[in-house]
A = this chain, B = another copy of it.
Amino acid sequence: MNAIKIRDAEGKDMDAVHKLIIELARFEESESAVETSPGNLQQDGYNGSARFKCWVAENEDEIVGMALVYPRYSTWVGPVLHLEDLIVTESNRGLGIGGLLLDVVVKYGHSIGVKRISWEVLDWNEPAIKFYEERGARVMRDWDVVQLDEIGIKKYMERL
């Protein structure tokens, strides 16, 4: 594991981070749903706005994984940290990199005092679910994600 290093991402890492996002979207059979560019990520995370915080995992100085978080708010428990993405490129699975990335996320959440860390998982992604449950997370199978997308928002506005 000596060659593996986790560090804060910088704007210039967003090309590599974007490649990982595309790789995960392909695995989730949703590649065409990725509308952001590396430039968008750089703008939204680093140039002026800080809509998220990101770490990258390097193996021999090559970026092979990432974790991306931002704050949320629960009316039940207060401030929450949300893990939007945790990705390790396929060729680097099984090396413990996902665990190292989750470690840094949980440490960060603990350091800022949140009472919950949340994320979302595909219910057929059993390896991911096993990985999370082994680390103490609860997969709440009775809670579903709901989305009104860009077209949905436009149509909703037209009906008002």
User: Which segment of A3-11, A32-40, A56-64 sits at the interface?
Assistant: A32-40
In the assembled complex, how far is the CB of residue A23 from the closest CB belonging to chain B, in whole angstroms? Answer: 12
Would B76 and A35 count as touching, CB distance under 8 A? yes
Contact with B along A92-108 (1 / 0, CB 8 A): 00000000000100110
A76-B36, A115-B35 in contact; A144/B153 too (CB < 8 A)?
A: no
Contact with B along A136-148 (1 / 0, CB 8 A): 1111111111111
A residues adjacent to B (C-beta < 8 A): 21, 25, 30, 33-36, 40-41, 44, 51-52, 68, 70-79, 82, 84-85, 103, 106-107, 109-110, 114-124, 132, 135-150, 152-153, 155-157, 160
